[in-house]
Amino acid sequence: MSGRRTTAPARRRAGSGLAGTALRWSVFLVVVGFWQLVTTTLTPADYAPYFPPPSTIARTLYETWFSGPVSHGFLTGTAIHDLLPSLGRLLGGWALAAAVGIPAGVALGRSRHAIEYVRPLVHFARSIPATTLIPVFVVLFRFSTTMRVSVIVFGVVWPILLNAIEGARQVEPAQLDIARVFKLGRQTRLWLVVVPAAAPRIFAGLRISLSLSIILMVTSELVGATDGIGFFLSNAKKGFELPEMWSAIVLLGIVGYVLNTALLAVERRVLGWQYDAEEYR
Amino acid sequence: MTHPPARKPVVVRLSRKARRTAGPLLRGFAGVEVFLLAGGVGGRVGLVDPSYLPPTSTVLAHAGRLLTDGGFLRDIAFTLGGWSAGLLVATAIAVPAGVLFGSLPVVDSAARVLVEFLRPIPAVALVPLALLVVADQGEMERLLAAYAATWPILVNTIYGAGAVDPLARDMARCFGLGRAAILLRVWLPSVAPFVATGVRLASSVALIVTISTELISGGGGDGLGQFVFDASGDPDGAAEVFAAVLVIGTLGLLLDAGLRYGERTAFRWHFERLGEPG
């Protein structure tokens, strides 16, 4: 398999990838420099406190979140108090939604009629902004972690479910027939044929729902929270601490970027066979 | 020896298309019915506390009453105003930017970095900041809706601009078409379906952001989010909240269905080429 990786087009792509990364980061630096210039010279004095320059934001970001002792992985007390619970709820809610949505979606997608019974309900539930259910979940679970995780799960389970359904429906019938000819049992067919065929769509659903989880995580923490990034944000607003607020916003961007990159890496690893197959087609 | 002519069975024959749609429609209806019944029975027999989860009938009655209530209709109009303004502004910004980015590879990879970093920042995280900078709630939610709606449109437009057939472009150039004509005849038809998809995705994002902003920006304002916020403060407001959620869900469904229908009708050729059902 390693022979495949070093084919000429693959090498060329790797090279352009490296150059691309360099180009992207240089562009990123140029934009940040421009931002610095605008906020230090062009912003009217009335608005200056609201838009601190990126250098200030970067310093605040470091001091507030990442200047802790080595023993704590450089995390500060604030980061341990606010960032970790947020990440826990975010990943917990997302994983829970995946654990419910993927099996249910694959099962529904393989059944001919079951999906028709639930489709209108699913589409309706999907079109309810999960944030409007925050009051409902507050009534049910008070201001607790359960409430926040429920909001995330309810909000992100639908894209996962719908994509898993679509993925399971797109299984090549011929492949299933072949599996039957070889007398593979139901279980084996599921794991060897249906799940791999549905995997790309399942990952697409997981990616959409990951960015949605971040939104819901923050929103649910903006109301009645005692910890979390959202709590930090609303606290910073009360104290009129603009640089801190900006640092939390940038931190959210970093969290989203890192999580998305990690998921893409996993996807590439798990679905590598598929890209290879496409190359050889 | 002649057989008596076989008598044709008298059955109501639905056309093939009608049969194909009637089955799923009926089953979907049955699913909804069961769900509503479960909601009604659960509340009545004491499975759940009706003050938390009011029975279906109560919620439906409340929803019906709300739809004839002037104040609530004004809230709907306010939210839709924020949604449409945000979507319009986002389209006006994202489509030209997307075409520019998508047509120039260097700018494209540069823009991609920005998009990748800015997109994960949830618009609602900007609410505390926006509350300090922008005083007016309506203006704030338009701003945030526009911010959130920009990304799906931008990403789809870039993708569409990258998918313009280079052969068609070169051919148009061979035929001596000018820049404007190439833009109009080659780029526009090729990019427009992607833009439409982006707008549809952005529409639901804009609605979510508009309502969420209203919900978390504190009391005393307008819009559906504010309605839910106020109702949730009321001890007997559970039915009101659920009724509003029902209306909001229906609204989202209608907007999505409308845009989807418009997309399918306007770009029928595009979906036929993709081999997707039209």
Q: Which of B24, B34, B256 comes nearest A127 by C-beta?
A: B256
Residue A7 above 80 pLDDT? no
| Longest alpha-carbon distance in chain B | 96
CB contact under 8 A, A245 and B121: no
> Which of A132, A170, A208, A258 best tests the B interface by mutation, with the highest count of B CBs <10 A?
A132
CA-based nearest residue to A109, from A180, A173, A191, A194? A194
Q: What pLDDT is recorded for position A14?
A: 45
Q: Residue B110: its chain A contacts at CB < 8 A?
A: 23-24, 27
| A60 min Cα distance to partner chain B (Å) | 16
CB contact under 8 A, B24 and A116: yes
Tens of pLDDT, residue by residue over A167-221, are: 898 888 888 888 888 888 888 888 888 888 889 889 989 988 998 899 889 989 9
Give a yes or no: residue A247 inside a domain. yes
Give a yes or no: residue A96 inside a domain. yes
Q: Which of A135, A215, A240 comes nearest B122 by C-beta?
A: A215
> What CA–CA distance (Å, rounded) separates A68 from A64?
9
Stretch 243-272 of chain A: residues touching chain B, C-beta under 8 Å: 245-246, 248-250, 252-253, 255-257, 259-260
Q: Is the dihedral of CA A264, A265, A268, A270 positive or negative?
A: negative
Which chain A residue shows the shortest CA-CA distance from B226? A132
Tens of pLDDT, residue by residue over A126-173, are: 888 888 888 888 878 888 889 999 999 999 999 999 999 988 988 888
> Which of A82, A127, A212 best tests the B interface by mutation, with the highest count of B CBs <10 A?
A127
CB contact under 8 A, A132 and B32: no
> What CA–CA distance (Å, rounded) separates A131 from B123?
13
Stretch 122-161 of chain A: residues touching chain B, C-beta under 8 Å: 123-125, 127-136, 138-140
CB contact under 8 A, B109 and A124: no
Which chain B residue shows the shortest CA-CA distance from A256? B120
| B1 min Cα distance to partner chain A (Å) | 47
Q: Residue A218: its chain B contacts at CB < 8 A?
A: 122, 124-125
The model's pTM is 0.81
B132-155 in b/e form (b: 16+ CB < 10 A) is eebeebbebbbbbbbbbbbbbbbb
* Stretches in chain B below the pLDDT threshold 50: 1, 276-278
Q: Which of A24, A250, A260 comes nearest B112 by C-beta?
A: A24
Q: Residue A117: its chain B contacts at CB < 8 A?
A: 27-28, 30-31, 34
φ, ψ of residue A64 to 5 degrees: the values are -75, -40
Give a yes or no: residue A213 inside a domain. yes
Q: Are the C-beta atoms of A135 and B43 separated by less than 8 Å? A: no
Give a yes or no: residue A145 inside a domain. yes
Q: Are the C-beta atoms of B174 and B181 separated by less than 8 Å? A: no
Q: Count residue pairs from A and B with Cβ separation < 8 A.
A: 166
The DSSP symbol for A144 reads S
CB contact under 8 A, A50 and B228: no
CB contact under 8 A, B120 and A245: no
Tens of pLDDT, residue by residue over A79-130, are: 888 999 999 999 999 999 999 999 999 999 888 788 888 888 888 888 888 8
Mean pLDDT of A48-73: 86
Which chain A residue shows the shortest CA-CA distance from B231? A135
Residue B55: partners with Cβ closer than 8 Å, 6 or more residues away: B39, B40, B42, B43, B44
Neighbours of B10 (CB within 10 A): 6
| B254 min Cα distance to partner chain A (Å) | 9
Helical H segments across chain A, by residue range: 2-5, 8-37, 54-61, 77-78, 84-110, 114-126, 134-141, 145-169, 173-181, 186-189, 195-222, 229-238, 242-270, 272-280
> What CA–CA distance (Å, rounded) separates A122 from A164?
13
Q: What pLDDT is recorded for position A13?
A: 46
Residue with tokens 């910073």: A236
Q: Is the dihedral of CA B86, A124, A150, A99 positive or negative?
A: negative
Residue A261: partners with Cβ closer than 8 Å, 6 or more residues away: none
The DSSP symbol for A33 reads H
Residue B11: partners with Cβ closer than 8 Å, 6 or more residues away: none
| Reported ipTM | 0.76
Which chain B residue shows the shortest CA-CA distance from A215? B122
Residue A279 above 90 pLDDT? no
Residue A235 above 50 pLDDT? yes
Report which residue type is found at B198: G
Q: How confident is the model at residue A23 (pLDDT cuts 50, 70, 90)?
A: confident
Stretch 183-212 of chain A: residues touching chain B, C-beta under 8 Å: 211
Residue A6: partners with Cβ closer than 8 Å, 6 or more residues away: none
Q: Residue B30: its chain A contacts at CB < 8 A?
A: 117
What's the domain range around A122? 85-280
The tokens describing A31, both together, are 């934009």
| A210 min Cα distance to partner chain B (Å) | 10
Question: Higher model confidence: residue A78 or residue B45?
Answer: A78
B57-274: CATH architecture:
Orthogonal Bundle (1.10)
φ, ψ of residue B68 to 5 degrees: the values are -105, 5
CB contact under 8 A, B128 and A234: yes
CA-based nearest residue to A135, from A224, A229, A237, A211? A224
CA-based nearest residue to A225, from A169, A112, A145? A145
Q: Are the C-beta atoms of A234 and B124 separated by less than 8 Å? A: no
* CATH code assigned at A203: 1.10.3720.10
3-state secondary structure chain B: CCCCCCCCCCCCCCCHHHHHHHHHHHHHHHHHHHHHHHHHHHHHCCCCCCCCCCCHHHHHHHHHHHCCCHHHHHHHHHHHHHHHHHHHHHHHHHHHHHHHHHHCHHHHHHHHHHHHHHCCCCHHHHHHHHHHHCCCHHHHHHHHHHHHHHHHHHHHHHHHHHCCCHHHHHHHHHCCCCHHHHHHHHHHHHHHHHHHHHHHHHHHHHHHHHHHHHHHCCCCCCCHHHHHHHHHHCCCCHHHHHHHHHHHHHHHHHHHHHHHHHHHHHCHHHHHHHCCCC
CB contact under 8 A, B132 and A240: yes
Which chain A residue shows the shortest CA-CA distance from B255? A127
Q: What pLDDT is recorded for position A9?
A: 45
Q: What pLDDT is recorded for position A102?
A: 95
> What CA–CA distance (Å, rounded) separates A111 from A168?
9
Which of helix, strand or coil describes residue A10? Answer: helix
Q: Which of A7-11, A48-52, A236-240, B200-204 is predicted least confidently?
A: A7-11
Which chain A residue shows the shortest CA-CA distance from B256? A127
Give a yes or no: residue A78 inside a domain. no
CB contact under 8 A, A120 and B32: yes
How many distinct structural domains can be found in chain A? 1
